Amino acid sequence: MLTLRNADACYGAAQALHQVSLSAGPGDVLALAGRNGAGKSTALKVLAGHLALRSGTLEFDGKTLANPTPEMMSHLGVAYVPEDRQVFPSLSVRENLVISTVAHPRPRGGWTIDRVFELFPRLKERRRAFGQELSGGEQQMLAIGRALLCQPRLLLLDEPTEGLAPVVVAAVVEAIREIVAEKAGIIIVEQNFTVPEALATSFSVMDTGRIAWNGTKAEYMENRRDVMSLLSGLGSDAQPQPT
């Protein structure tokens, strides 16, 4: 479905991605882990159409996307939940969900506002509250619900459980299971594999803008200890950032 091939990307003069390749198809859950600044969020920004590639390609269903924009990625079925959630502060919870139906009027993937309320009953209770009044956990549920109403074929989740109470993490994990059951693909970015381990079908580790390791679920389980120590040891020998 969505494939990133040999991608280089920059913020101004600083190169943030080096030859990154990632791929996710229907029903896949790709877990992408790495330390702060490893390039995970940057990779998701590229996939969401918010950052242009310097070289490499972004392909959807085998076709190369020449100039991907956020609008285009949304219409292709790629929905984005950014790290800072970007809940609209001056819209009510309900309006934060309705806004997704403007460009996605037909529930092609079967997601309706009522179904989002079933998935996250807390949002239904808070439906009249404004975005700026929500707790971190409520904001995360709202950002995921808003993405689901874009009827995603692929959902990009940037640290969806960061800073959340365990009971909220459980709700988010449950939601991810339900989304996977719909045959949508998911790319989930986290600092480590603790949360996504039980969900993921493939695993990638990023470091200093590069893919440091990747493998299938079986390969991950076989090398679990090595991957764990790779994750915990990354960056400790302070490689200089190439320019």
Partner 1 sequence: MTGTLIIGLSIAMMLFLLAAGLTIIFGMLGVINFAHGVLYMVGGFIAVEVVNQTGNFWLSLLVAPLAVAALSALLEILLLRPLYDRDHVEQLLMTFGIILVLDEVVRTVWGLGYHDIPLPGSLSGAIPVFDSDVAVYRLFLIGAGLIAGLGLFALIEWTKLGIVLRGAMTHPAMVRSLGIPVSTIRTIVFALGGGLAALAGTIAAPLIPIQVGMGFGIIVDCFIVVILGGLGNIRGAIAAALLLGLVRAFGQQYFPEWIELSTYLVLMIVLLWRPQGLFTFSKGRKA
Residue 5: strand pairing partners: 57
Intra-chain end-to-end CA distance of the chain, in Å:
32
Interface with partner 1, residue 46, by CB under 8 A? no
Q: Which is nearer to partner 1, 33 or 48 (CB)?
A: 48
Q: Which is nearer to partner 1, 73 or 227 (CB)?
A: 73
Would you tell me the crossing angle of helices 136-148 and 166-181 to the nearest 10 degrees?
10
Question: Least distance to partner 1 from the beta carbon of 232, Å?
Answer: 33
Q: Which of 69, 229, 232, 239 binds partner 1 (CB under 8 A)?
A: 69
Interface with partner 1, residue 130, by CB under 8 A? yes
Interface with partner 1, residue 41, by CB under 8 A? no
Q: Which of 35, 40, 126, 146 binds partner 1 (CB under 8 A)?
A: 146
Interface with partner 1, residue 75, by CB under 8 A? yes
* Alpha-carbon gap, residue 121 to 26, rounded angstroms: 27
One symbol per residue from 198 to 227: x for binding partner 1 (CB under 8 A), - otherwise; what is it? ------------------------------
Q: How many CA atoms lie within 13 A of 80 on its CB side?
A: 22
The residue written with tokens 């404004």 in the block is 130
Q: Which is nearer to partner 1, 53 or 195 (CB)?
A: 53
Q: Which residues, other chains included, contact 196 with Cβ-Cβ below 8 Å and sequence gap of 6+?
A: 29, 31, 33, 188, 190
Q: Which is nearer to partner 1, 137 or 152 (CB)?
A: 152
* Alpha-carbon gap, residue 98 to 91, rounded angstroms: 10
Phi, psi of 176 (to 5 degrees): -60, -40
Using the rule CB under 8 A, give the single segment among 46-54, 157-165, 191-199, 203-211 that binds partner 1: 46-54
* Alpha-carbon gap, residue 169 to 194, rounded angstroms: 11
Tell me which residues touch partner 1 (CB under 8 A). Answer: 48-50, 69-71, 73-75, 79-80, 82, 86, 88-91, 95-96, 98-104, 130, 132, 146, 150
